[in-house]
């Protein structure tokens, strides 16, 4: 995959690796992210990995787009090394009833029983593709095909932090109470976001997650 | 020698919060830089008081702010837009520094220009920090926090109170023209629609907060609503699913699936964020290289202005902090 470099205003370059949610593309993104972190490119202040792209933010008083792109082209990222140094998290989950008010609707939409929905959700290892939206939110991909339902037409509010929500091939664990158009199937007491801690964020891009029943 | 001065927030308008320098390095965890919407006015407020340019100050918007000094004495200054101040009913105008003592009440009111203003204190405003900055991330409330009526504030004031008087305004950019670098998702729009958008005026609206401002213009329809989430930054103009154009500001979400048509220049983003509804601007397409040149020129002008305000007494720490100006303008949007 040959990366495409696009300027993002005055102070950033977007490195596009692909256009789909895909483990291989994501491994390339995370590998590049970690390689940049250890390369310490002059003027680069921050990188932001996403599903299929990486934003490289720089100080435009110290460097420019051409300088950053030349430094990126000279790197030799190692996606395999990145994949092998990612953490695996086991997250306890409660499903259905008050913890997952949408589980019956998801069961109806997928033609399965609620028990099958829970079993399907726990059957795979999820990849943390990216963080975003709000502090501590981690976008998990690789929801099993049988569980993929489009998001609701209207967002609904009233779901607490720790809600396990799904839409399409994506799964999220919320860290703030906020309206969502995704389907709320469960809840976890796992602490994904501890603002006052030295390590406030549990999940890092590239990590893997398994849900286990309580 | 320092003294403690205490204040009570008698009334805080909506969108009043503590803002310092932006926090950097946490976008990957969904945490935007935050920091002042107008980093020039914010730094000017601190420079006029002899503070580090990224010290914590109060940011307020159209609703204004009333504070009573309950104990001690402190220098204070307000900047941004043409927010005017009055002490115990005595009118003092906009962009002003003075000292206040126990028993006096300061009221800041918005006038006809600007959406964001700053009130700082000579010395240190007591504010909690999060991830290295006292800047408030409004969605979570983390950092120094939003101000509410009845809240108490403590200032560790310098006993030497700065001279009062008017604060000179910063050098303005090209008043009604905004530079834009197209991309990174401009390819998802019809080139003719982009040309129409660039040729028509763009207008500020009253729909804004610390995350962004809805813009009016000849907004092109996006051909791509199924994009996977990508990182975004402050100053970007995003076209959402309902065809609205939104200028992303300091607190915006760090990733999002709506295409970003282009990104405004550093000083241009501040000018548009400060513009009142119906104020119109023209867009001027520039290359990324031109944008860097223009940004460097603008920041050099602003640094000279801030150095003059500080009376060239700024420490090395001040000068390093003023180098941080840009970070306030770069940040990223998503929907869950």
Indicate yes or no: CB of A45 within 8 angstroms of CB of B327. Answer: yes
- What is the pLDDT, as a whole number, of residue B164? 82
How far, in whole angstroms, is CA A81 from its chain's centroid?
19
Indicate yes or no: CB of B295 within 8 angstroms of CB of A10. Answer: yes
SS3 B294: helix
Q: What mean pLDDT is reported for chain A?
A: 92
Chain A residues lying within 8 Å of B25, measured CB to CB:
45-46
User: Which residue in A61, A132, A135 is closest to B334 by CB distance?
Assistant: A132
**Minimal Cα distance from B252: which residue of A?**
A133
Q: What is the DSSP string of B64-107?
A: -EEEEEEESEEEEEEESTT-EEEETTEEEEESEEEEEETT-EEE
Tell me the sheet residues that pair with B17: B59, B146
Instruction: Give the minimum alpha-carbon distance from B187 to chain A in angstroms, rounded to a whole number.
Output: 11
Pairing of strands A163-167, A138-141: unpaired
Q: Give me the mean pLDDT over the A80-93 stretch.
A: 81
- What is the pLDDT, as a whole number, of residue B329? 33
Q: How far apart are CA A16 and CA A2, in angstroms?
A: 9
Indicate yes or no: CB of A60 within 8 angstroms of CB of B326. Answer: yes
Q: Could you tell me which residue, A6 or B327, shows the higher pLDDT?
A: A6
**Minimal Cα distance from B28: which residue of A?**
A48
CB of B28 less than 8 A from some CB of A: yes
Residues 6+ apart with CB under 8 A from B6: B69, B70, B71, B72, B152, B153, B154, B155
- What is the pLDDT, as a whole number, of residue A207? 94
Chain B residues lying within 8 Å of A9, measured CB to CB:
181, 233, 235-236, 262-265, 288, 291, 330
Q: Which of B184, B297, B332 to mutate to probe the A interface, most A CBs <10 Å? A: B184
B13-30: buried (b, 16+ CB within 10 Å) or exposed (e) per residue?
Answer: bebbbbbbbbbbebbbbb
**Minimal Cα distance from B25: which residue of A?**
A46
Per-residue pLDDT of chain B (336 residues; tens, 9 = 90+): 568 999 999 999 999 999 999 999 999 999 999 999 999 999 999 999 999 999 999 999 999 999 999 999 999 999 999 999 999 999 999 999 999 999 999 999 998 999 999 999 999 999 999 999 999 999 899 999 999 999 999 999 875 556 689 999 998 877 799 999 999 999 999 999 999 999 999 999 999 999 999 999 999 987 666 678 899 999 999 998 788 999 999 999 899 888 999 999 999 999 999 999 999 999 999 999 999 999 999 999 999 999 999 884 444 444 444 444 544 333 222 233
Name the strand (E) or helix (H) holding A30. Answer: helix A23-39
Q: Give me the mean pLDDT over the A57-76 stretch.
A: 96
Q: How far apart are CA B236 and CA B182, in angstroms?
A: 9
Instruction: Give the minimum alpha-carbon distance from B240 to chain A in angstroms, rounded to a whole number.
Output: 15
Q: Give me the mean pLDDT over the A57-86 stretch.
A: 86
Indicate yes or no: CB of B231 within 8 angstroms of CB of A14. Answer: yes
Instruction: Give the minimum alpha-carbon distance from A48 to chain B in angstroms, rounded to a whole number.
Output: 5
SS3 A75: coil
SS3 B194: helix
- What is the pLDDT, as a whole number, of residue B63? 96
**Minimal Cα distance from B288: which residue of A?**
A10
The complex's ipTM works out to 0.92
Interface size, chain A vs chain B, as Cβ–Cβ contacts under 8 Å: 164
Backbone angles phi, psi at A81, to 5 degrees: -60, -40
Q: How many residues can be counted in chain B?
A: 336
Listed residue (B94, B102, B96, B61) closest to B76, CA to CA: B96
Instruction: Give the minimum alpha-carbon distance from A112 to chain B in angstroms, rounded to a whole number.
Output: 25
- What is the pLDDT, as a whole number, of residue B2? 64
Chain B residues lying within 8 Å of A11, measured CB to CB:
233, 266, 295, 326, 329-330
Instruction: Give the minimum alpha-carbon distance from B116 to chain A in angstroms, rounded to a whole number.
Output: 23
Listed residue (A86, A161, A160, A173) closest to A121, CA to CA: A173
CB of B175 less than 8 A from some CB of A: no
Chain A residues lying within 8 Å of B183, measured CB to CB:
6-8, 14
Indicate yes or no: CB of B130 within 8 angstroms of CB of A21. Answer: no
- What is the pLDDT, as a whole number, of residue B58? 98
Indicate yes or no: CB of A48 within 8 angstroms of CB of B295. Answer: no
Q: State the pTM of this model.
A: 0.91
How far, in whole angstroms, is CA B135 from its chain's centroid?
11
**Minimal Cα distance from B139: which residue of A?**
A134
Cβ distance A204 to A115 under 8 Å?
A: no
Instruction: Give the minimum alpha-carbon distance from B230 to chain A in angstroms, rounded to a whole number.
Output: 6
Chain B residues lying within 8 Å of A54, measured CB to CB:
231
């Amino acid at each position: 995959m040959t990366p495409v470099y696009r300027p993002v205003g005055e102070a950033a370059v977007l490195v596009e690796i692909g256009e789909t949610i895909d483990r291989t593309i994501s491994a390339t993104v995370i590998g590049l992210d970690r390689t940049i972190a250890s390369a310490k490119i002059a003027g680069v202040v921050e990188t932001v990995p996403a599903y299929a792209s990486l934003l490289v933010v720089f100080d435009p008083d110290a460097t420019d787009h051409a300088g950053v792109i030349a430094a990126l082209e000279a790197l030799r990222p190692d996606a395999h090394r990145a994949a092998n140094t990612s953490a695996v998290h086991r997250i306890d989950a409660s499903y259905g009833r008050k913890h997952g008010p949408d589980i019956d609707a998801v069961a109806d939409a997928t033609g399965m029983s609620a028990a099958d929905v829970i079993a399907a959700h726990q059957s795979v290892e999820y990849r943390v593709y990216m963080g975003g939206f709000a502090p501590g939110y981690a976008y998990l991909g690789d929801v099993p095909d049988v569980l993929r339902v489009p998001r609701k037409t209207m967002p609904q509010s009233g779901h607490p932090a720790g809600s396990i929500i799904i839409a399409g091939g994506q799964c999220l664990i919320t860290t703030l109470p906020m309206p969502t158009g995704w389907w709320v199937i469960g809840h976890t007491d796992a602490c994904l976001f501890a603002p006052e801690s030295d390590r406030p964020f549990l999940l890092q891009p590239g990590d893997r997650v398994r849900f286990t029943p309580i | 020698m320092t003294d403690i001065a205490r204040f009570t927030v008698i009334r805080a308008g909506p969108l009043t919060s503590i803002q310092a320098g932006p926090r950097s390095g946490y976008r990957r965890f969904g945490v935007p830089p935050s920091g002042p919407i107008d980093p020039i006015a914010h730094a000017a407020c601190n420079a006029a008081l002899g503070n580090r340019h990224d010290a914590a100050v109060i940011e307020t918007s159209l609703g204004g702010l009333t504070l009573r000094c309950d104990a001690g004495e402190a220098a204070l200054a307000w900047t941004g837009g043409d927010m005017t101040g009055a002490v115990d009913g005595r009118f003092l105008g906009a962009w002003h520094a003075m000292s206040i003592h126990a028993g006096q009440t300061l009221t800041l009111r918005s006038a006809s220009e600007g959406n964001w203003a700053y009130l700082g204190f000579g010395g240190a405003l007591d504010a909690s920090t999060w991830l290295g900055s006292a800047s408030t991330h409004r969605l979570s409330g983390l950092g120094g926090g939003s101000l509410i009526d009845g809240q108490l504030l403590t200032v560790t004031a310098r006993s030497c109170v700065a001279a009062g008087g008017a604060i000179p305004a910063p050098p303005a950019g090209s008043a009604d023209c905004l530079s834009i670098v197209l991309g990174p998702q401009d390819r998802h729009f019809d080139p003719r629609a982009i040309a129409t958008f660039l040729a028509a005026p763009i207008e500020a609206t009253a729909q804004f907060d610390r995350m962004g401002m809805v813009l009016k213009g000849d907004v092109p329809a996006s051909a791509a609503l199924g994009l996977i989430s990508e990182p975004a930054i402050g100053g970007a103009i995003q076209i959402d699913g309902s065809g609205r154009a939104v200028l992303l500001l300091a607190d915006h979400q760090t990733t999002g699936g709506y295409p970003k048509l282009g990104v405004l220049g550093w000083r241009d983003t501040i000018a548009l964020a400060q513009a009142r509804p119906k104020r119109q601007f023209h867009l001027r397409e520039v290359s990324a290289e031109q944008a860097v040149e223009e940004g460097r020129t603008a920041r050099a002008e602003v640094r000279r202005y801030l150095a003059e305000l500080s009376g060239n007494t700024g420490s090395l720490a001040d000068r390093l902090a003023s180098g941080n100006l840009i970070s306030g303008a770069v940040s990223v949007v998503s929907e869950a």
